């Protein structure tokens, strides 16, 4: 191989390397510019939807779906810039989608369940729910999982399919809920007097609603005496405050009224 051929070979390869390096740099620049444009588009879309007063759950779901779609388009565009046949890539992507769908049917089930959760709306962002074995406040309904903050402030991610296939209790839908407590009385206590004392005190607890009025009735009998069901009503946001205040009122009311501490009574007979 003579010197001229070697120089031609080197020059050709240098040109190829320079062209490849230029394309790589251009692809990186396109990626960052594309990502910035996608983030900007998502931000504009989210702001526009919020101005239309569309539900926050639906906005989150739409922007997440749009973000995934735009990122796929960006990747296809960059591959097309490198000379990859995009139609072949689309067919490959479809085939890969089928294979992935067969292998990851659970993800598709979560995705489908997420769509139904958005359409049927058994709950929305900000609601306090119990579903899928988790109780807490809904933070976000995503493509595949729903984010829930539990009462002890633990962020929990639950698959949408698990939520949708289970019973869902939404504590935020109705204007009030019932607090269920019990008060044990001694046999010597007049139950009507105990009910009257509790009625007067419990209706004055902050955030206890007057309609419906608190329910206080005998629910059971034990060896120590009758048991009162103490059931005030309140908004879900005040549940634990009313729960603890009611317990405190039961203790203070019985003590101030001089009711004896409940004790078991036994009678032993000798034959």
Question: Quick one: which of 1, 138, 6, 21 has its CA closest to 82?
Answer: 21
Structure tokens at 223: 């060896």
pTM of the model: 0.59
**Cα gap 5→13, rounded to integer Å:** 12
User: What is the 3-state composition of the chain as percent helix, strand, coil, each rounded to the nearest 5?
Assistant: 55, 20, 30
Q: pLDDT truncated to tens, each residue of the chain (271 aa)?
A: 555 555 565 556 555 565 566 677 777 888 888 888 888 888 888 888 777 666 676 677 778 778 877 887 877 777 776 666 656 666 666 666 666 555 556 677 888 888 888 888 899 899 999 998 999 999 988 878 899 999 999 999 999 999 988 899 999 999 999 999 999 999 888 999 999 999 989 999 999 998 999 999 999 998 888 999 999 999 988 999 999 999 999 999 999 888 888 877 666 776 6
**Cα gap 172→188, rounded to integer Å:** 41
**Alpha-carbon radius of gyration of the chain:** 33
All domains of the chain in start order, with CATH: 3-103 (1.10.287.1260), 117-170 (2.30.30.60), 177-256 (3.30.70.100)
């Amino acid at each position: 191989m003579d010197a001229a051929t070697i120089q031609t070979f080197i020059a050709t390869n240098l040109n190829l390397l320079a062209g490849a390096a230029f394309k790589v740099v251009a692809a990186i620049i396109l990626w960052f510019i594309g990502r910035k444009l996608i983030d900007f588009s998502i931000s504009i879309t989210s702001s526009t939807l919020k101005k239309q007063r569309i539900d926050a759950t639906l906005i989150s779901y739409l922007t997440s779906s749009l973000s995934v779609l735009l990122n796929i388009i960006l990747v296809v565009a960059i591959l097309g810039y490198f000379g990859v046949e995009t139609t072949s890539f689309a067919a490959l992507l479809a085939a890969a989608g089928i294979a992935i769908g067969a292998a990851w049917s659970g993800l598709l089930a979560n995705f489908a369940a997420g769509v139904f959760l958005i359409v049927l709306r058994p709950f929305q962002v900000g609601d306090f729910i119990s579903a899928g074995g988790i109780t807490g406040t809904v933070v976000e309904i995503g493509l595949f999982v729903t984010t829930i903050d539990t009462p002890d402030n633990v962020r929990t991610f639950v698959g949408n399919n698990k939520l949708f296939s289970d019973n869902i209790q939404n504590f935020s839908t109705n204007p009030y809920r019932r607090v269920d407590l019990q008060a044990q009385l001694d046999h010597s206590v007049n139950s009507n007097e105990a009910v009257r004392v509790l009625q007067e005190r419990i209706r004055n607890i902050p955030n206890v609603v007057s309609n419906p009025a608190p329910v206080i009735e005998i629910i059971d009998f034990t060896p120590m005496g009758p048991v009162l069901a103490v059931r005030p009503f309140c908004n879900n946001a005040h549940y634990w405050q009313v729960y603890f205040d009611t317990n405190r009122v039961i203790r203070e009311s019985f003590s101030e009224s001089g009711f004896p501490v409940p004790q078991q009574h036994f009678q032993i007979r000798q034959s």
